[in-house]
């Protein structure tokens, strides 16, 4: 677990589930209630899902990143579909693709960061982790 588990992992998981709810809420708001940034809708989708995926990956670092990616891509598709029932909203494949790219980016960044974060929690430096890995690969 990143950071050795405990309270930090708990906070990360809580933040991940909160983010999941916020993404659903924002995805299903009626168009009259929406507020957009100057970044554009696709960038907003990618950023929201990258943050969600990163938090989920850091909170639940079990092996099998593919299941997390698949679950979040399906979640993004489901929310896009449900926009059919939100006043003034309509689903778009391009929005789903932007969300899916965000999932890939966020889970990849979190996967890359998880190792150094775990090492820091154990009090070992990057150098020690690399040394240990090198030693085990030489066997």
Structural domain including 126 reads 2-138
The pLDDT confidence band at residue 133, using thresholds 50, 70 and 90, is: low
Q: How many distinct structural domains can be found in the chain? A: 1
* pLDDT tens for each residue of 27-85: 999 988 877 888 988 999 999 999 999 999 998 887 778 899 999 999 999 999 999 99
> At 97, is the pLDDT very low, low, confident or very high (cuts 50, 70, 90)?
very high
Q: Look up the pTM and report it.
A: 0.77
Task: Round to whole Å and give the CA distance between 79 and 95.
Answer: 10
* Spatial CA neighbour of 79 closest among 68, 70, 90: 90
Which one has a higher pLDDT value, 7 or 5?
7
Rounded Cα–Cα distance for residues 129 and 116 (Å): 8
pLDDT number for residue 1: 45
Separation in Å, CA 30 to CA 25, 52, 88: 10, 22, 6
């Amino acid at each position: 677990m990143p950071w050795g588990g405990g309270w930090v992992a708990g906070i990360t998981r809580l933040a991940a589930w909160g983010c999941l709810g916020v993404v659903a809420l924002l995805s299903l708001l009626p168009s009259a209630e929406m507020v957009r940034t100057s970044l554009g809708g696709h960038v907003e989708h990618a950023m929201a899902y990258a943050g969600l995926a990163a938090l989920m990956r850091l909170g639940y670092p079990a092996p099998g990143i593919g299941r997390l990616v698949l679950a979040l891509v399906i979640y993004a598709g489901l929310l896009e579909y449900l926009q059919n029932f939100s006043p003034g909203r309509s689903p778009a494949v391009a929005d789903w693709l932007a969300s899916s790219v965000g999932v890939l980016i966020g889970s990849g960044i979190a996967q890359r960061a998880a190792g150094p974060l775990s090492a820091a929690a154990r009090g070992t430096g990057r150098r020690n982790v690399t040394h240990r890995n090198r030693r085990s690969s030489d066997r």
